[in-house]
Each structure stands twice: as structure tokens, then as C-alpha cells.
Amino acid sequence: MLEYIPVRDLMRSDFAAVSTRMTVDHAASLMMEKDVPCLIVTKRSVPVGSLTERDVLEKVVAANLKPSQTIVKEVMRQGIVTTNPGTDIILAVRKMLRGSSEVIAVVENDKIVGILTKADLIRFSPTMMEISRELAKVKTAEDFGAFDETVPGYCEGCRERSDALVYHDGQYLCRDCRG
Ligand SMILES: [Zn+2]
């Protein structure tokens, strides 16, 4: 069993948030200027999606759309998994895989405070060796047990250790917190 590592220890703070209505050319320049692999798309400061360089290449450049006339909303990945800084990293990885997303937004007090990318998780070592090995093997979320009914870990509600957390409304919760 891995020790408890909070998301806070591994999240990165060099991210940028953009609005759904920003044009893709502006978003792409921001990505380069800030040297970030991914943008978090927000609507009234709530994270609603993500945009990577690859999305821009595949959905805009390759599709022959004009970046100056395309808005982020049209090409972003809809929906984004969120977590909070105190969440057990293993649970965050499970959430990432469930949502088949490349990035998770870390939210605290309704504010995005960081991001966690799959690429970062794979790179981390040696603390993350075990997770890295798991992730490297993973072909599907099922392989990682992302859809297991109950998993051990620290509850995202009360932070207490439980052997039977259940995924409920986007959070891994213990029996008490599920009510
Ligand atoms: Zn709980």
C-alpha cells in the first residue's frame, strides 16, 4: 500500500485559465508565452474543459479552421475532472482515468490553484515509482481498477482513512460522508 501523498505535493502551478470565448489564436499564444502544456477552460471561473496543444493541432490546424475565428469552446475537451489539494494522489489518478482526461484541475475555495497532468504523474520518481509503473501499464481505466466499486484511501470529505471509498458525484467518499 502506498503512503498517503496529497495532490498538493505533486500539482503544478504553471497553468493558465482561459474563458470559453477566447479565440484559439490568443489561447495558443498564451500557451506558448506561459510555456504550459494545457489550458484550463473556465466559465465564470468554474472549470468546464481543457485545451492542449494537440487539440489545437488536430482540431484547428489540421481541420483548416482559422485560429483567429475559432473560439476555445468549439475545440476544447468538454468537461474536466476536479479535485482538491488534500486529496490522496491515488484517488486523483483514479479520477483522471475514469474521466479519460489528461489533466485534472485542483480547486480550493472555488478557485483553481493548480493542475495535475498525466504526463507529470508518469515522470515523477522515485516517490511515484509505484504509480508510474501502474500508469505505464495502463491501457484502459479498467486495468487500473478505476471502476472498482470500493477502493481504499483517504475520504475526500472527512479525510479519514477508509477501506471502502465509493465514487459518488465526482468524489471518493467514505460510508459516513455518503450519508
Ligand atoms: Zn468521509
Same domain? 172 vs 126? no
One domain for residues 110 and 152: no
Q: Which residues pair with 117 in a beta bridge?
A: 103
- 113 CA from centroid of ligand 1 (Å): 23
Shared domain check, 178 and 166: yes
Judged against a pLDDT cut of 80, whether residue 82 lies above it is answered with yes
Same domain, 20 and 86: yes
Find, among 46, 47, 55, the residue nearest to 27 by Cα.
55
Q: How far does residue 173's CA lie from ligand 1's centre (Å)?
A: 5
Distance, CA of 150 to CA of 77 (rounded, Å): 28
The contacts of residue 153 (CB under 8 Å, 6+ apart) are: 88, 90, 91, 161, 162, 165, 172
Q: Report d(CA 50, CA 62) in Å as an integer.
A: 19
Count Cβ atoms below 10 Å from residue 170 Cβ, excluding itself: 13
Taking the centre of ligand 1 as the mean of its atom positions, its distance from the CA of residue 167, in whole angstroms, is 12
CA of 108 to the centre of ligand 1 (A): 18
Q: Over the stretch 43-60, which tens digit does the pLDDT of each residue have?
A: 988 899 999 888 999 999
- On average, the pLDDT of the chain sits at 84
pLDDT tier for residue 143 given thresholds of 50, 70 and 90: low
Cα 161 to middle of ligand 1, angstroms = 8
Full residue range of the structural domain in which residue 54 is found: 7-147
Tell me the CA–centroid distance for residue 96 and ligand 1, in Å. Answer: 20
Q: Identify which of 64, 96, 69, 65 has the alpha carbon closest to the alpha carbon of residue 83.
A: 96
Do 29 and 62 fall within a single domain?
yes
| Residue type for position 45 | S
Across residues 68-78, what is the average pLDDT? 95
Task: Answer for the pair 149, 163: CB distance below 8 angstroms, yes or no.
Answer: no
Q: Are residues 90 and 45 in the same domain?
A: yes
Residue 125 pLDDT grade (very low, low, confident, very high; cuts 50, 70, 90): very low
> What average pLDDT does the segment 99-109 reach?
85
133/172 same-domain check: no
Provide the pLDDT for residue 96: 82
Model confidence at 33: pLDDT above 90: yes
Averaged pLDDT for residues 62-89? 92
Per the structure block, which three cell numbers stand in for 156?
Answer: 475526500
- According to DSSP, the residues that pair with 173 across neighbouring strands are 166
Is the same domain home to 120 and 79? yes
Cα 177 to ligand 1 centre (Å): 4
Number of structural domains (the chain) is 2
Task: Determine the Cα–Cα distance for residues 136 and 99; give it in Å rounded to an integer.
Answer: 17
- In this structure, are 176 and 121 located in the same domain? no
What is the Å distance from ligand 1's center to 104 Cα? 21
Specify the CATH number for the domain of residue 39: 3.10.580.10
